[in-house]
Every structure is written in C-alpha cells, then in structure tokens.
Amino acid sequence: MRKITARISGIIGALLMLSVSVVAGPEVPPLPIAHANNAVAQVKIDGKISLFSFMGLTAGKTYKDVSKQAFAFTQGEGTWRQIEDVPVPEGRLAATAVGLGEGVYLFGGYTVAEDGAEVSTLENFRYDVRTNQYDRIPDMPVPTDDAVSFVYADRYIYLVSGWHNTGNIRDVQVYDTVENIWFKAADYPGSPVFGHAGGIVGSRFVIADGVALLGTREGGDRRFETVNEGWMGTINPDNPAEITYRRLPQLPGRGNYRMGGAGDVQGNRVLFVGGTSNAYNYNGIGYNGEPSKPTAHVFAWDFAKDNWVAYPDKPVPSMDHRGLLKFNGQWITVGGITGDQQVTGEILPAIK
C-alpha cells in the first residue's frame, strides 16, 4: 500500500510535512446500507448540518447491486433516514452531488447492464431538502460520469472532465442555477480523466490525478492507468466561462483514483484523501486483474504556501469515494471500499 510519505520522497522543499492529530471521528453512525461510489453532499439549514448519500454500489458489487437509494443524516439525530429514491429507472454509479442553499444538485453517473455495458446518463436533479422531492433540471450538454463538481459564487456548478460513454472528455460544463441553463467553460488542459478529485476555494480550484485511457494493451484491450497530475484553475469573476490554468508541481509516484476531495475554505486548501493507485472497474478489481488496495494518505494544495502539503495518514485506508464532507469540524468520507475489498457504510475520519 502506497502512502503519501512514499509519494513525496525525492522532493526537496516541494512539500511540507505537518504533524496533525486525527481524532476518532464525529458522532455520525454508519449508513443503514453500505454503499461505495455514492454521490455525497451537505447543506446547512436552520443552523443544522445535513449529510446526504445518493446511489452508488452495494455489497455484492455486481451490476445487480447498482443502487438508486438515498439517505440523509441531520445534526442532532441519532440515525440516518432513508429518503426518496433518486427518480431514475436504474441505479447509477459515479454520479456527483453538491449542496447549495436548501437543495442538493445531483449530476450524471452511469448505468451498468448485465453484459457489462456502461452508459453515461444525462439526467440531473435538484433535491429539495425541506420537501424531500426531486425536480429534474436541464440535461447536461455532454452526458458525463466520474467528473469533479464544485460550486462557484453560490450560483454556478462546474463539472470538470470525466467519462462519456467510450472515452474521457476535457469539457468543463457549467450549470447556472439562477438562469437554469448550461454553458461551456474553458476546457481542462490536463490529461482528460475520470475518477479524479478536487475542490474550490474562492475563485481557484485544484484538480488532481484520476485515470486516463492510454491506448491499448497487447491483445487489444484498452489500457487504463492512473495519472500523476495536478492543475489549478482560476475563474474570471467577470466571466465564469473564462478559466486560467496552471500546472502544479508533480508529486512523484503513481497518481490516485477515486480519492475524496474538497475545498476547505477555513484552511485555505484543497484536500485529498484515500483512493488507490491501481485503476479499477466499478467492482474494485483492477483492469490488470489485481484487487485494488486503498490508501490512507491525506494531502492538500495549500494556497497560502503555494505548494503541496502532506498530513499523517487517516486511520482507515479507503477508496471509491465521490466526495469529502465536513461535520462538527472533522473531514470525513461516507461509505466507500476498505482494504478487505468490502463495501462499507462507515463514516471514516480523515483530518481536522
């Protein structure tokens, strides 16, 4: 299992190791039904934080176990409650979700057929937290799964890169929640990827790693590999379609896939946790036939230091995340796959 300390070896002055204690975790019980690859989000209403989990993969890890279930946990309550299923005919994997105002916006994902065929979906929804109802919003221009999503200026939701049916895309698709329309922003300049991670602070976002399609293997099978890349995008406040990109210093070693990622405004950083260096299909088995092993690393792009920063490993290695949430001052993952290849419903602490 590769840890972040191994990844940063060989860089002199490029990273700063910090000593940060990681507590046992917030008072959040496990999901009622274990899910991995679930879209997660949070909102704050009437002074209370609510956490949400939508769709994903349950314990069997076959096409029959792709879920459309949804769950919510509100601060002060003792258990998660099951809310209305996402109103789609089939479950979804690799969707993405963001909380904004009193709603959660849910985008894309893909379906899995019995024969293994995967189709990127274009349906998007706004879930109203108060009414427990979904409203369909305009379809995204390019149906995409395994993208990174974040909110800018409390209005615009960005979807960066991802997978569309047969290949990765560079598209940055933006949904204007006020005008209820989509528009295209400047393309992502890095390797087009799926299963990358990232987040935004102010007008600057950071994207790291993911999996790229790198030709074919001997025998004709497509070759999927993790990529080791970090990019910063700065959004023009006068024109949200205009983004200035900068390639960040490269971390040594292999990139990671399906980490949890989020922008941390208070810490002025974008956090990345867990994931795996072995690209895999939805069932956790690598494209190379080997079971993928999750990592426990925690690192960030620190805007004040203008550099990568590594932190002590989180207590439990995990992968197959579609986001990173903060509850009672603790950054957490909700569900995922742990080191024994098991789908979990646990709420795992990452870093304060």
Q: Would you state the structure tokens that stand for residue 323, as one six-digit string?
A: 């986001």
Q: Round to whole Å and give the CA distance between 177 and 86.
A: 20
Position 169 pLDDT exceeds 70 = yes
**Which pLDDT belongs to residue 5?**
37
Report how far apart, in Å, the C-alpha atoms of 245 and of each of 158, 170, 236, 310 are. Answer: 15, 13, 11, 23
pLDDT in tens, 250-280: 886 789 999 999 999 999 999 999 999 999 9
Confidence (pLDDT) at 21: 38
pLDDT at 227: 95
Alpha carbon distance 228, 253 (integer Å): 7
Task: Return the domain boundaries, the chain.
Answer: 4-351
What pLDDT score was predicted for residue 26? 61
Residue 117 tokens, joined: 């065929």
Locate 188 and state its tokens. 């992502």
What confidence score (pLDDT) does residue 174 get?
A: 98
Span 137-160, pLDDT tens digits: 999 999 999 999 999 999 999 999
Taking residues 16-38, what's their average pLDDT?
A: 71
* 4-351: CATH superfamily: Kelch-type beta propeller (2.120.10.80)
335 has a pLDDT exceeding 50:
yes
What Å distances lie between residue 181 and 85, 157, 301, CA to CA?
Answer: 25, 11, 31
Asked if residues 347 and 25 have their Cβ atoms less than 8 Å apart, the reply is yes
Q: What is the torsion angle, in degrees rounded to the nearest 10, for the CA atoms of residue 143, residue 146, residue 148 and residue 149?
A: 50
- Nearest-Å Rg of the Cα atoms of the chain is 18
The string of pLDDT tens digits covering residues 35-74 is 999 999 999 999 999 999 999 999 999 999 999 999 999 9
What is the predicted pLDDT for the residue at 19? 38
At residue 11, the pLDDT reads 37
Q: Which of 172, 327, 346, 336 is nearest to 262 (CA)?
A: 327
Q: Note whether 251 and 230 are within 8 A (CB).
A: yes
- Torsion region of 116: left, alpha or beta (phi above 0 gives left; psi -120 to 50 gives alpha): left
Report CA dihedral (339, 345, 350, 352) to the nearest 10 degrees: -160
Question: What's the mean pLDDT when you consider all of the chain?
Answer: 91
Q: What is the pLDDT of residues 183-239, one digit of tens each?
A: 999 999 999 999 999 999 999 999 999 999 887 776 667 888 999 999 999 999 999
